[in-house]
Structure 1
Amino acid sequence: MGWLQSLFSPLKKLWFRLNSAQRKKRGIYILYEDVKSCQCEDVQILWSILVESNPPHLRLKQ
């Protein structure tokens, strides 16, 4: 039974890592939609600073 657990352990870790990455992207997208709908110029400026400071693969289209 230990061999079965050793087989599935890396797959389980990979699954959790991929699932948490998708959740983060969804959360960022929801935040992006909220910021996009906000009319406050300060919020728009802070969002642009945040987007520019992140790596290109995490950036959302503006």
Structure 2
Amino acid sequence: MGWLQSLFSPLKKIWLKLNSTQKKRRGLYILYEDVKSCPYEDVHVLWSILVESHSPSLPLKK
């Protein structure tokens, strides 16, 4: 039975990682809709700062 657990353990980790990523994206999308409908300019500026700080950085070429 231990071999069965060792087989499914990596799959479970991958599933949990993908599932949590989708929830984060969905949450940001809902927030994006709220920001888009907001009339205040400073909210849009704060949103752009937030998006730029969480964008994945490009790998450095050597």
Query: What does 1:42-61 align with in structure 2 at a 5 Å threshold?
Result: 42-56=42-56
TM-score (norm. length: structure 1): 0.82
Q: Which residue of 1 aligns with 2:60?
A: none
TM-score (norm. length: structure 2): 0.82
Distance in 2 (CA, whole Å) between partners of 1:4 and 1:44 is 50
Deviations along 1:10-53, one digit per CA (max 9) or x if unpaired, are 10010000000011000011110110011111111101111122
Q: Number of paired residues?
A: 57
Distance in 1 (CA, whole Å) between partners of 2:56 and 2:36 is 19
Structure number with the bigger relative contact order (C-alpha 8 A, sep ≥ 6) is 1
Q: Which runs of 4+ in 1 moved over 6 A?
A: none
Counterpart secondary structure, 1:39: coil
Q: List runs of 5+ in structure 2 lacking aligned partners.
A: 58-62
Identity of aligned residues (%): 75
Does 2:10 correspond to 1:2?
Answer: no
Query: What does 1:20-39 align with in structure 2 at a 5 Å threshold?
Result: 20-39=20-39
